[in-house]
Amino acid sequence: MKIVIVGAGEVGFHIASRLALENKDVVIIDSNPDAIRRVSDNIDVQVINGSGSSPLVLEEAGIKNAEILLAVTNKDETNLVACLLTDIISPATKKLARIRDADYDKYHSNFRSSAPHIDTIINPEVEVVRTIDRLMSVPGAVDVSEFAGGHLKLIGIQLDKEDTKMAGIPFAKLSQASGKQIPLIAAVIRDEELIIPTGNDSLLPGDTFYFISKEENLMDTLKTFNKYAEPVRRALIVGGGRIGFRLASLLEKKSIHTKIIEKDPDQCTQLAEQLNKTVVLCGDGSDQGILTEENIQDTDVAITLTSDEETNILASLLIKRMGAKKTITKISKFGYFPLMSAIGIEQVVDPRLSAVNTILQYIRRGKVLSAKSIKGEGAEVVEAVALETSDIVGKPLKDISLPKGVLVISIIRENEITIPSGESVIHPNDRIIIFAKRDAIPKMEKILEVKLEFF
Amino acid sequence: MKILDVLQKEAVLVNLKSRDKKSVIEELAMPVARIANINHDDLVRVLMERERLGSTGIGGGIAIPHGKIKELESLAMGFGLSRKGVDFESMDGRPAHIFFLMITPENSTGLHLNLLARIARILKNEPFKDRLSNAVDSDEIFNIIREEDETF
């Protein structure tokens, strides 16, 4: 599969390095020689130093043979032009573009239905705001993703260090011991290592673990693990850029009392004009004085969203220390992730990772509806349609030799959601949710593939 | 159904130039789109979409790209030979040399499945495959397929 990537920034670089590992044929274009050097020094893909909005460069990159174009430069205009040219030079190539400016929001559907015929528009900022919203609504969650149109949630929570009640009990006996139906625990992350547990394994204090839950049972399950819902009334946003603005508008709609701290006076003026109820404060979000003045200890949640991740990390630590109940931190350097839980930052959002997730969906084989990387990318969760003639349908799960590290965690038939057992049979056109460790991903794709006779 | 009932001589390409999956599908689809009177880009999109669900490269140097098209009136076929071979993400990882392209209307009954099964079966016959691979023009391809059609 050939993929042309325009833009060697964080998203382009990261996608390219992942695809190179999976033996995909990748060409990456960027006009910045430094960005290109970083790619060629680190990953084994073809690089072209030039503008992705030039038809000659696109042709040189072999756009005619490409199955997918990813236009992910930091300029919306360049991405749009790259798609437009691809639409002319190679109409059957799938086009995915990152478009961030809110001015374009209303025109997304036009970009799909008429030229440049973009198949998918990725707006990481909108995704991140959605992720923040989900993290705010699920108490104690370090990771929340939705499947089956929101009816199913995959939740990652950390077992409190003091929680000895649930620790040490084998999973097979958890429900019995707690007197409640405990959902299927798909993965445990312990000391940065991802484990797919069996019934004999158990949780240790400090473990992060992932489970799948129906929307209606979620709060009940969380209580068993000592996580209680606390309504959010007051929020503080540090950083009034594009994400900060989008988040503030959402929180206004939810009638959450919101303050936003932004350094740049011009930006503050603009925010104050565009927002109605939000209080806009001009200043430094990591300044103790301003935080004390604004009664930070009464804040239910603080979200740090400046463009500087070190500032975000330090501001979050400071704000937590000064008494805010919860912080959510925006980080984009993948290298920082392993550090976060060690220094006490639990809830992290990453616009680039959410862009990567959207893109993954298009690269996976089979009829994949959505895909999501799990912390540190040790695993992937995929929602897909089980197609006729594929290996996964027609037989009880126990008779299908599922590759090691692959777990079917839900079956959705019409509106019925079941957590499968060995006896469950997947029917053609059921939707399934599969959990796969990174090294098992090619095998997972294999079981979703259709046979020759599928039309 | 005989293969030559649906395969037309204009849709036989004995010297495919393309070396990659997408280009070879575009090349094969060119005459088929013309004969079936459908949009070439739409046809390529349908065929590529089907490939994403699982490669139709069945190994042994054979690929049978196929799909369903709404506006199509009746089943249509194409044939192609690539001397150098094309990476078609086949099950055995080897390049594909012989291509049968098949498209059928959306509401088609089992007919296309029978034809597909038959093509897959006759291509397991090594002497037949060798003769196809060494054919120099579309007339020769037609003669080889005609012999096979008569035994059907």
In chain B the domains, ranked by start, together with CATH numbers, are 3-150 (3.40.930.10)
Name residue A46's beta-bridge partners: A27
Distance CA B23, CA A385 (A): 28
Distance CA A178, CA A222 (A): 12
Q: Among residues B40, B66, B97, B112, which one is catalytic?
A: B66
Query: What is the per-residue pLDDT across B55-106, written as a single tens digit (0 to 9) for each?
Result: 999 999 999 999 999 889 999 999 999 999 999 999 899 999 999 999 999 9
Name the H helices within A138-294: 171-178, 218-224, 242-253, 265-274, 288-293
Nearest by CB to residue B54, choosing from A91, A93, A449, is A449
Distance CA A186, CA A178 (A): 19
Cβ separation of A390 and B117 shorter than 8 Å? Answer: no
Cβ separation of A92 and B41 shorter than 8 Å? Answer: yes
DSSP string, B32-43: HHHHHT--HHHH
Cβ separation of B22 and A2 shorter than 8 Å? Answer: yes
DSSP code of A365?
S
Q: Which CATH architecture has domain A234-349?
A: 3-Layer(aba) Sandwich (3.40)
Taking contacts as CB-CB distances below 8 angstroms, the residues of chain A near B28 are none
Cβ separation of A366 and B53 shorter than 8 Å? Answer: yes
With an 8 Å Cβ cutoff, the interface of chain A facing chain B consists of 1-2, 64-67, 91-93, 365-367, 387, 390, 449-455
Cβ separation of B54 and A366 shorter than 8 Å? Answer: yes
**Single-letter amino acid code for the residue at A426:** I
Taking contacts as CB-CB distances below 8 angstroms, the residues of chain B near A1 are 21, 89
Cβ separation of B120 and A452 shorter than 8 Å? Answer: yes
Cβ separation of B54 and A451 shorter than 8 Å? Answer: yes
Taking contacts as CB-CB distances below 8 angstroms, the residues of chain B near A455 are 50, 66-68, 104, 112-113, 116
Interface A–B counts its CB contacts (< 8 A) at 56
Q: Mind spelling out the 3-state secondary structure of A87-128? A: HHHCCCCEEEEECCCHHHHHHHHHHHHCCCCCCEEECHHHHH
Q: How many CA atoms lie within 13 A of A355 on its CB side?
A: 27
Distance CA A343, CA A46 (A): 38
* Domain A140-224: CATH class, spelled out: alpha beta
Residue A113: Cβ within 10 Å count: 9
- Sheet hosting strand A120-122, strand order edge to edge: A46-49, A25-30, A2-6, A68-71, A94-98, A120-122
Structure tokens at B105: 């209307």
Taking contacts as CB-CB distances below 8 angstroms, the residues of chain A near B52 are 365-366
Of A303, A305, A310, A244, residue with least CA distance to A278? A244
Taking contacts as CB-CB distances below 8 angstroms, the residues of chain A near B112 are 455
Pairing, β A257-262 against β A234-238: parallel
Domain boundaries, given as residue ranges, for chain A: 2-122, 140-224, 234-349, 364-448
ω into residue A116 within 30 of 0, thus cis?
Answer: yes
DSSP code of A28?
E
Does A140-224 match A364-448 in CATH topology? yes
For A24, nearest residue in chain B (alpha carbons): B89
For chain A, give percent helix, strand, coil, nearest 5: 40, 25, 35
Task: Give how far A106 is from chain B: nearest CA, Å.
Answer: 27
Distance CA A279, CA A295 (A): 13
Distance CA A394, CA B44 (A): 31
Helix (H, G, I), strand (E, B) or coil at A72: coil
* The pLDDT of residue A360: 83
* The pLDDT of residue A149: 86
Handedness of CA A171, A175, A178, A184 (dihedral sign): positive
Structure tokens at A139: 């108490």
- Secondary structure tally for chain B: helices H, strands E: 6, 6
Answer yes or no: are the C-beta atoms of A214 and A169 closer than 8 Å: no
B40 is catalytic: no
Task: Give how far B45 is from chain A: nearest CA, Å.
Answer: 5
Per-block average pLDDT, block size 10, for chain A (455 residues)?
93 88 89 96 95 97 95 96 97 94 92 94 91 91 89 90 82 85 88 86 90 90 87 94 95 95 96 95 92 93 95 95 93 81 86 84 86 81 94 93 90 90 94 92 90 90
Distance CA A157, CA A205 (A): 11
Instruction: Please say whether the structural domain A364-448 has been given the CATH code 3.30.70.1450.
Output: yes
Distance CA A432, CA A366 (A): 12
Just give the CATH number of A2-122: 3.40.50.720
* The pLDDT of residue A353: 81
* The pLDDT of residue A356: 84
Structure tokens at A291: 């935080």
Task: Give how far A90 is from chain B: nearest CA, Å.
Answer: 9
For B62: left if phi > 0, alpha if psi spans -120 to 50, otherwise beta; the answer is beta
* The pLDDT of residue A376: 67
* The pLDDT of residue A366: 85
For A90, nearest residue in chain B (alpha carbons): B41
Q: Per DSSP, which regions of A148-256 are E strands?
A: 152-158, 185-190, 193-195, 208-214, 234-238
Distance CA A45, CA A27 (A): 6
Task: Give how far A24 is from chain B: nearest CA, Å.
Answer: 11
Rg, chain B, Cα only:
14
Taking contacts as CB-CB distances below 8 angstroms, the residues of chain B near A446 are none
Distance CA A141, CA A222 (A): 9
Structure tokens at A59: 């042709």
**Single-letter amino acid code for the residue at A374:** I
